[in-house]
Structure formats: C-alpha cells, structure tokens
Amino acid sequence: MAEQTTAERAAVLCDAARSGDRRALARLLTAVENHTEVAEHALRRLYPLAGGAHLVGITGPPGAGKSTLVAALIEVLRAAGRTVAVVAVDPSSPITGGALLGDRVRMQSYASDDGVFIRSMASRGHAGGLAATSTSAATVFDAAGFDIVLLETVGTGQSEVEVAAAADTTVVLEAPEMGDEVQAIKAGLLEVADLVVVNKGDRPGAQRTAAQLRAMLVPSVARADRDPDRPTPKRPEVLVTTAMTGEGIPELLVALDRHREQTRTGETPAARLFRAEAQVAAVLAQRVRERLAAPAHRATTRAVYDAVARHELDPYAATDRLLALLDEGPPDRG
C-alpha cells in the first residue's frame, strides 16, 4: 500500500517535470541523489522516455577552465534555440571549490531561463558510485526533454573521470602548457577523450600545445598491429578555445554534433552499452545487498562480515557463503 503511494508520488513528479515544472524536476534530482524509493519509481518510468538527449562529459585538470567553458557552451546552445542541463559534480576539493563559485554566480543569469537547468552534486556518498548517480540525473534531464546534458567533473579522481567517460561524447580540457610536467595529464585523461580542447587559447603556447597533442594522438600503428581484430581507434579531434571570450565555442558545438552523428550510425554505440552495463551493475549490487540484509539472512550475513573483519574467514570464502545463502532463493520479504 505504502509502496503504491510512493509510485504514485513519483508518477506525479515525473509528469510535472516533463511538462516543465522546475520544482518537480529539482525534487526528482534530489531523490536521485539520495537514492530514495521515489527515485527508483521515477527512473523506471523515465528511462524508456529518455535516450534522446546528447550526454556530453566535460573533464580536465583543475584550472583548465571547465566551468567557464560550460557557461560559454550554454550561451551558444541557447542562441541556437537548444535546451541544456548541467550536472556539475562538485568534489569537496579546495581546488575546484573556489573556482566553481565564481562561475556559479555567472550562471545565475540563467535562473529565469527555462531552457537551462544547472544542478550541482556532491562527489561523496553515492551508493553505487558517483557515475551511476550522475547518469541517473542525466536520465531525468533527458526524459524531461533537454536537448543536451553536460556532465562536468574535475579530472583528478577515478570516480570523477568515470562520470565524464560514461557520456556519449567526452571532452577533455587542457590548459596551454607551461613546461614538461603536463605529460601526466595526458597519460591519464586523454584515453577517455572523444574531443580534446585546449582552452585559454589566448595564452602563449596554446597552439603549440594543440599541435603537440595532435602529434601525440596519432593512433599508434604498433598498437593496431598488436590486435588486428580491433578497429584502429578514432583519433580525437583537437580544438582550441578561449571560453572567457567565447572564441572557438561555436566550432566546439559543431564538433560535438559531428561526434554524435558518427556514433549514431550502425550498432549500439559503445558508450551507451558501457553506461547501460554500469547502471545495471549498480542496481544489481543494490539488490544483492537488499537480499543479504533481509530478515532471513541478516544474522548470517553479519556473522560472515565479522569473521572477515577478524581475519578468520577470507573475503573469497565469505563470498562463497553469501552466494550459497542467495542461491537458497530470494527470502520472503519480511
């Protein structure tokens, strides 16, 4: 009975959000972030209605100008009559904490524009992982009819990079290089890039950095040789922008649209399949946890964890026991 009411409440929120009610949309996003029951009902309802939006991940090292680029992209998108939602993953980090604040204020100018919705998300405490929560938030925006959803994260954490990498198109931002120490960025981040943007293009070294990146990103023949079954990976395009003035942003939008068209043809795009697997894995892990925590199994489960904590049982043997428990079949809901 109670569950029925939750489902109905979710349905009402979904319908309202889809008809443009921003408060309903905000409440759905809060539900998603807190993994409530409303969120599950809402996502079940919204998922089949989603899939039309273009999910764009934007990541890069602190100071590359991600928030400024997002603000510039919003401007160009709105001028083109397209609607845009932003999921800004805000690590409680000193680096981006400060920088984002300024751009947040800048983004306040869109507060009265129904074609823009900006949502910040904490980077901690997401059951199932940060990427799963952000993807669910993107699903809500997608089903609510936004044309493009920007997922903005800092590129200095495994979970944070995964958020951007799970998008249809992943943009990696770089600042012009000052020296040799930037090799480290490339190694870690470039592998997830569909597009590479050298921002702060008005600074000395921007064009040189772009040229270096282009040279670096030539697909290695040696690698293609090693695994002849795999198609040669597409070389990410390298663009130069100056987000602060808007220079290069229309060209970035063209590149984003082109990447999307390229991945749309043929089979299910790899990014969508990857995202689907990650989302199902998160729900699956949640269901397994729920089953183990059910009254019939709770005591055994707790004893198993205790034994592992005391090093009397190894995690593999413990898993075997828990799987045996689950194989008895789903417990009666208590």
Using CB under 8 A as the binding rule, the residues of this chain from 101 to 120 that contact its own copies are none
Q: Does 151 bind its own copies (CB under 8 A)?
A: no
The answer to whether the CB of 154 falls within 8 A of the CB of 160 is yes
**One-letter amino acid of 136:** S
Selected binder of its own copies within 28, 71, 72, 91 (CB under 8 A): 91
Selected binder of its own copies within 158, 220, 232, 245 (CB under 8 A): 158
Residues 299-318 that bind its own copies (CB under 8 A): 304-306, 308-318
Q: Does 2 bind its own copies (CB under 8 A)?
A: no
Q: Where does 203-248 have alpha helices with state H? A: 206-216, 221-226
The answer to whether the CB of 137 falls within 8 A of the CB of 42 is no
> CA–CA separation, 111 vs 117, rounded Å?
8
Residues 190-249 that bind its own copies (CB under 8 A): none
> CA–CA separation, 61 vs 59, rounded Å?
7
Choose among 228, 87, 222, 206: nearest CA to 144: 87
Selected binder of its own copies within 185, 217, 240, 252 (CB under 8 A): 185
Token duo for residue 43: 């996502």
The nearest distance, CB 306 to its own copies, in angstroms, is 6
> CA–CA separation, 303 vs 290, rounded Å?
16
- Residue entry with tokens 């083109």: 80
76 or 283: CB nearest its own copies: 283
The nearest distance, CB 96 to its own copies, in angstroms, is 8
Selected binder of its own copies within 57, 61, 176, 236 (CB under 8 A): 61
Task: Indicate the DSSP class of residue 198.
Answer: E
257 or 314: CB nearest its own copies: 314
177 or 194: CB nearest its own copies: 177
Q: Does 284 bind its own copies (CB under 8 A)?
A: yes
The nearest distance, CB 328 to its own copies, in angstroms, is 10
> CA–CA separation, 186 vs 279, rounded Å?
28
124 or 258: CB nearest its own copies: 124
Distances (CA, A) of 55 to 37, 52, 245, 257, 306: 25, 9, 24, 11, 42
Q: Does 290 bind its own copies (CB under 8 A)?
A: no
The nearest distance, CB 106 to its own copies, in angstroms, is 18
The nearest distance, CB 113 to its own copies, in angstroms, is 27
Q: Does 160 bind its own copies (CB under 8 A)?
A: yes
* Residue 45 burial (CB count, 10 A): 17
**One-letter amino acid of 133:** T
Distances (CA, A) of 72 to 114, 172, 248, 251, 268: 17, 16, 10, 12, 31
Selected binder of its own copies within 2, 3, 48, 111 (CB under 8 A): 48
23 or 124: CB nearest its own copies: 124
Would you give the binding string for its own copies spanning residues 250-279, x where CB under 8 A is met?
A: ------------------xx--xx-xxx-x
78 or 291: CB nearest its own copies: 291
> CA–CA separation, 157 vs 61, rounded Å?
10
